[in-house]
Structure 1
C-alpha cells in the first residue's frame, strides 16, 4: 500500500525533526527556499521553494510547516490554505495525546510530549520534545513551546506565543498573544 504524499515546508533543524516523524507515515518531500531542487536531506528530496506551492499542489495534497518562526509559519499555512492543501498533525510515536483533548490541524508533537485530557491545542502549533500541556489548558494557534516546558492545568498560552525550554506556565495563568517567554522561566 502506498503512502500519502506530504510536503514538508522547511528543511532546517526543526523541519528535519518533523521529517523524522512524518516519514514513518507519509511519502515526504521538502519545500525550502534555501535549498537546491533535487538535493536530498535526510533521504528526502527537495522539490521546490514556496513559489512552487501552486504547481506542487497538483501532486501533493498534504502540507506541514516545520519552521519555528510563528508569524512566518502562519503566513505559509494561510497561503497553503488558499491552495486547498490539507494539514495533518504529526506526532512522534512516543508522544501522548489524550482522546479527550482537542488538537487543531498542522500541529507537530515531538517525542515524549504529552497533551492531557481536556487540553485544547490550536492549529499550526509546534510542541517540542518533553512538552506537557496539562488538563484543561489551552495553547493558541501558531504557538511554539520548546523542550521540557509545562503548561499547567487551566493555563492559557496565546496565539503566536513562544515558550522557551524548561519553562512552567503555572495553573490558571494567561500568557498573552505574541509573548516570548525566555528559557527557564516560571510564569505565575
Structure 2
C-alpha cells in the first residue's frame, strides 16, 4: 500500500500525511497503535445497559467485539501481517485483561444461572468472535452475535443434565448421578 493510496482512502492530500507523520513507517505504526488500543472497546463494553437481560447484554458485547476483530483483521490484511507485531502467546496483554474483566462483569449478576464462574464464561464468550471472523476458521459462514451468545449460553444440542453425565466418560458412568442431581460442568 502506498501513501498515495492511504491519502486517497482518507480523503486528504498525500502531503497532509507528512505534515503529521515523519514517514510511512510512522504512519503505519500509528495506525496499528490506534487499532489495538483497547480504550474505545472498553468504553463501549462499560456502556452496555445493565438493565437489559443477560442475553441482550451479551449480544451487545459480542457485537462490539465483532466490530473490533473485523477492523483488526482488515488492517492486518492490508499490512500483510499474520499476527500483531507485539504478539506474545506466553501471557495475555494488559489490554486483553481489561476487556475480559468488563465481559466477566456482565456475567457476574447472573452467576447463579451459569455452570462456571464469570471469568471462564467471559473467556469463552470473548473467543467466539475471533473464530467467527477468521476466514480460515469460519469458511465464510459467519455467526451473528445472537448465534454466538446462544452457543455460549445454551450449547448446541438438546440434552438433560443426566445426558451430560453420560458423555463425561466411563469413570463417571461407574458412579452414576442420582436422578435430578446437578452435574458439575466447567467452562
TM-score range, shorter chain: under 0.3
Structure of larger gyration radius:
2
Q: TM-score by structure 2 length?
A: 0.26
- The structure with the largest helix share of the pair is 2
Larger relative contact order (Cα-Cα within 8 Å, sequence gap ≥ 6): 2
